[in-house]
Amino acid sequence: MTDQISSPYQPTLAEMVKIKQLTEKEKLFTLYLQDGRDLGHRAGQFVEVSIFGIGEAPISVTSSPTRNGTFELCVRQVGDVTGALHRMAPGSTVGIRGPFGNGFPVDKMRGKDLLFAPGGLGLAPLRSLINQVLDERESFGRVIILYGARNPSELLFKDELAQWEARDDVEFHVTVDRGDESWTGNVGVITTLFPKITINPRNTVAMTVGPPVMYRFVLMELLSKGIQDSRIFLSLERRMKCGLGKCGHCQINNVYVCQKGPVFSYAQLKELPEAI
Ligand SMILES: Cc1cc2nc3c(=O)[nH]c(=O)nc-3n(C[C@H](O)[C@H](O)[C@H](O)COP(=O)(O)OP(=O)(O)OC[C@H]3O[C@@H](n4cnc5c(N)ncnc54)[C@H](O)[C@@H]3O)c2cc1C
Ligand code: FES
């Protein structure tokens, strides 16, 4: 009798334990792997989520690696797979492959000041790293978070944003492109938050994740503050299928984003000008 060989294409079953509506289009799903393993991810990695009979979609893990047992996915409803996920109830089962990709280089960040600049749904992957850093707070220098969303109703994780804002050891600034009658905070795109902070560029590592249009402008701000190219990290969303460096869907030149990325330093991306 031959031993059963596990295939990287074979998903592990995961059960949903909690589902929370975060905004009109985004829900937060809490899951656990039914085989009893921890997901064992690094901040910035993603999983392939399969809905049986419908398909698979890459989704970043939004929970911190420091919090084991269950893991969280923040999913925007845009199409077939994400629509089916949004129709599920606690107790439902999905397939999970991964975690895939490289994740953020957390060890290179220890002792450094950290500047996070997420835009919109880009907070989902960065939240994983932010909460890891806050759980290991003494290992890092200043923590600065600049978060931008289109309008107040699209702000994700509002309870957590309030907690970050209340902490003495986090410098938190938030903005919306368009306010509403109840919004008393900053109005303007995320770059309008940069004049509110001063940094020591020699000791700062910056992370930005958001819609592709945002990257060019945020990069200009980060570079004008003097942060080195090799200390600025972005996460690229390319269409991904296998997550294993086989299908080529995510390929840019000779680079498979699913394996070498999705996190790249700006120094690496300058060698891949098509990427941003
Ligand atoms: C590394 C990575 C991490 C991601 N993390 C998250 C996350 O944390 N939360 C989240 O909500 N989404 C995330 N996404 C995007 C998510 O994978 C897509 O929204 C999802 O694949 C759409 O699947 P669907 O079957 O619901 O949509 P489909 O029915 O396939 O398509 C619906 C619409 O979305 C477009 N679309 C489909 N797939 C993608 C894609 N990969 N990129 C851009 N546009 C697409 C289609 O062109 C179409 O217009 C991530 C993508 C990548 C590559
Ligand atoms: S998703 Fe298949 S090669 Fe990257």
What are the pLDDT digits (tens) for 4-28?
A: 567 888 999 999 999 999 999 999 9
Verify that 136 and 92 share a domain, yes or no: no
Verify that 92 and 24 share a domain, yes or no: yes
Residue 58 CB less than 6 A away from ligand 1: yes
Q: Which CATH number belongs to the domain containing residue 89 in this structure?
A: 2.40.30.10
Residue at 250 is within a domain: no
pLDDT surpasses 60 at 3: no
Q: Which CATH number belongs to the domain containing residue 144 in this structure?
A: 3.40.50.80
Residue type, 201: P
What are the pLDDT digits (tens) for 181-224?
A: 999 999 999 999 999 999 999 999 999 999 989 999 999 999 99
Distance between CA atoms of residues 168 and 166, nearest Å: 7
Residue 193 CB less than 6 A away from ligand 1: no
Helix (H/G/I), strand (E/B), else coil: 166: helix
Residue 59 CB less than 6 A away from ligand 1: yes
Residue at 272 is within a domain: no
Verify that 96 and 117 share a domain, yes or no: no
Verify that 17 and 66 share a domain, yes or no: yes
Residue at 69 is within a domain: yes
Verify that 178 and 218 share a domain, yes or no: yes
> Residue 84 CA to chain centroid, in angstroms?
21
Verify that 95 and 110 share a domain, yes or no: no
Please give the tally of structural domains in the chain.
2
What are the pLDDT digits (tens) for 81-129?
A: 999 999 999 999 999 999 999 999 999 999 999 999 999 999 999 999 9
Verify that 172 and 224 share a domain, yes or no: yes
Residue type, 163: Q
Predicted confidence at residue 276, as pLDDT, reads: 79
pLDDT surpasses 70 at 1: no
DSSP state of 2: P
What is the CB neighbour count within 10 angstroms for residue 7? Answer: 8
Distance between CA atoms of residues 25 and 78, nearest Å: 8
Predicted confidence at residue 272, as pLDDT, reads: 86
Verify that 17 and 61 share a domain, yes or no: yes
For 191, residues 6+ apart whose C-beta sits below 8 A from its C-beta are: 217, 218, 220, 221
Q: Is beta strand 93-100 parallel, antiparallel or unpaired with respect to 71-76?
A: unpaired
Residue 242 CB less than 6 A away from ligand 2: yes
Residue at 208 is within a domain: yes
Atom of ligand 1 nearest to the CA of 85: 26
Cβ contact 131:61 at 8 Å: no
Question: Is the pTM higher than 0.85?
Answer: yes
Distance between CA atoms of residues 9 and 242, nearest Å: 7
Which residue segment(s) compose the domain that 167 sits in?
Answer: 106-235
DSSP 99-134: EES----HHHHTTSEEEEEEBGGGHHHHHHHHHHHH
Whether residue 262 is preceded by a cis peptide bond, meaning omega within 30 degrees of 0, is yes
Predicted confidence at residue 81, as pLDDT, reads: 97
